[in-house]
Amino acid sequence: MRMNRGWSSRYALVLIALVASALILPTGSASGQGAGAEVKEAPTPPGIDVFDLNLGQTRAFSRRKNFEVVGHSYFKGPWLTPFAQQNGLGAGFNTPRVHKGIAYLGGYNGPPTLFGVLIANVSDPTNMQPLSFIPCNPGTRCPYIRLNTSKKILVGTHDRNAANPMQPPAGQLVQAGVTLHDVSDPTNPQLLSFFLTANNGATHGFEIDDRFVYACASTPQTKPPVGRNQEIVIIDYSDPRHPVLASTVHVQGQRIGEEYEERDRLNPDGTSQVIQCHEINLHKGRLYVAWRDVGFVVVDVSDPYHPSIISRLDYVPPFNGGSLGAAHTSAPVIVDPDEHPTLVVHTDEIFSCPPGFGRIIDISALSNPQVISSYRLPHVSDNFNFETGEFVCPVGQQSIHQPWFDFRSPSLFYQTWYDQGVRAWDISNPYLPREVGHYISPKYAAPGAPPDRQIRETYQDPDTGLIYMTDGNGGGLTVLRWTGPIPPRPPLPGAR
């Protein structure tokens, strides 16, 4: 039988579309009942190096719903560690920030791939180009960064880390603290100052405004162990060449000579709680702090020289925070930038079994914050063996991690979830969060580590709407576009 040429062409196009859809469409879908989808892997064929994919292969060996892959780069180069270069890895990144086509990318340390901040031109996501590199202080990692776009200042924290190939000379101490760089010329960043928080100390997440840095850090007064006990250090950088300490905030028991309150001592399994300031978000004179096993904390910084804790939700126990502690991020849901929020998206980074998941907290009454729902991946978090009385979990890092809100709607956010990729959630009804999209990257599994992804953070550029996703295993930077629906309304009130 002879085919009509036009019909034959259409038939070929249909076949191509079916093949393409088989590559990109998920095998599962969100249940609509607060549950996330289980998505079948897109395995990389034998003989293909997952750390040497082109853009077409990156698209083909990923899974996505309501996301488009716009660009990708491993950012290989002399800034990588010997370990990364010898194993053919790309850069492992943590925090991304993008402004006017320039990306600032904090390197990640596990596996050890990049100890510094890479600055790159990402105005063309299909051809991203490195511009300059700022190394971490010797003996530290520096994966957390913030950008003051008005003053062109890049702020970063430095945290003691033995994996950095560059260590201080024998007999010298590691300098942990905060650096300020002038990045008005991104090809030639200039150090303005360094603020020491503690020799041989630890730092972690932080936030800035136009004058102050609000950082999780250890101080000379902080109890050991370093890294598992951090408070809030507030630094005034109104003179960026001479920053000064404004104040500190800590929980009782964190300092030498103090005793912890009873609720901050033990997990349900009898292990010690981790009392560590971990991540900070700032809005309208208040810090929204994830403080590991302390839980969720709100700090009034309307006067940063005289801050005070004004709210706390502690859920450990009865929940167990695991070896690293529970709370990772407390992200306020900003409906009106001139008003205080009434809802918070709160995540637990737990690598034990079961792993951490997310909660929605109502804070309309600061004196009595309440969890009103959770959002989770049941196939990861909720497999329970009733015969053994234990949870059963997939191999690898399956914890939830860092949320980022779409600037177009407070009801939509992008949630990184380590091996489970990026998950988009609609909280128009905060009592019933719904997963509405996902991006599961190729499996950038580093040698010597569990065979999983390490999807760390996303950042959405408000100028373009593009979403920049980092991989900590050496998978570099992926640029995504959300193609799904934008919720038209803010979340329903929680309290009622």
Q: Please write the tens of the pLDDT for every residue from 20-58.
A: 333 333 333 333 455 787 998 888 899 999 999 999 999
Q: Are 343 and 494 in contact (CB under 8 A)?
A: yes
254-262 own/partner pairs: CB under 8 Å, 24+ apart: 254/222, 254/223, 254/229, 255/221, 255/222, 255/223, 255/231, 256/221, 256/222, 256/223, 258/223
Residue 34: the pLDDT is 59
**DSSP state, residue 55:** H
Span 402-409, average pLDDT: 98
* Segment 474-495, tens digit of pLDDT: 999 999 999 999 999 999 999 9
b/e for 81-113, b at 16 or more Cβ within 10 A? bebbeebebbbbbbbbbbbebbbbbbbbbbbbb
User: pLDDT confidence of 7, banded at 50, 70, 90?
Assistant: very low
Choose between 308 and 36: higher pLDDT.
308
Span 271-292, average pLDDT: 98
Span 204-208, average pLDDT: 97
Measured CA distances, 356 to 34, 103, 321 (Å): 15, 29, 9
Residue 22: the pLDDT is 37
Q: Which amino acid is at 196?
A: L
Distance CA 305, CA 89 (A): 45
Q: Which amino acid is at 22?
A: A
User: pLDDT confidence of 16, banded at 50, 70, 90?
Assistant: very low
- Each domain of the chain, given as residue ranges in start order, spans 7-482
* Segment 438-462, tens digit of pLDDT: 999 999 998 887 889 999 999 999 9
The two beta strands, 93-99 and 102-107, are antiparallel
Measured CA distances, 106 to 39, 146, 147 (Å): 29, 9, 11
CATH placement of domain 7-482? 2.130.10.10
Mean confidence (pLDDT) of the chain: 93
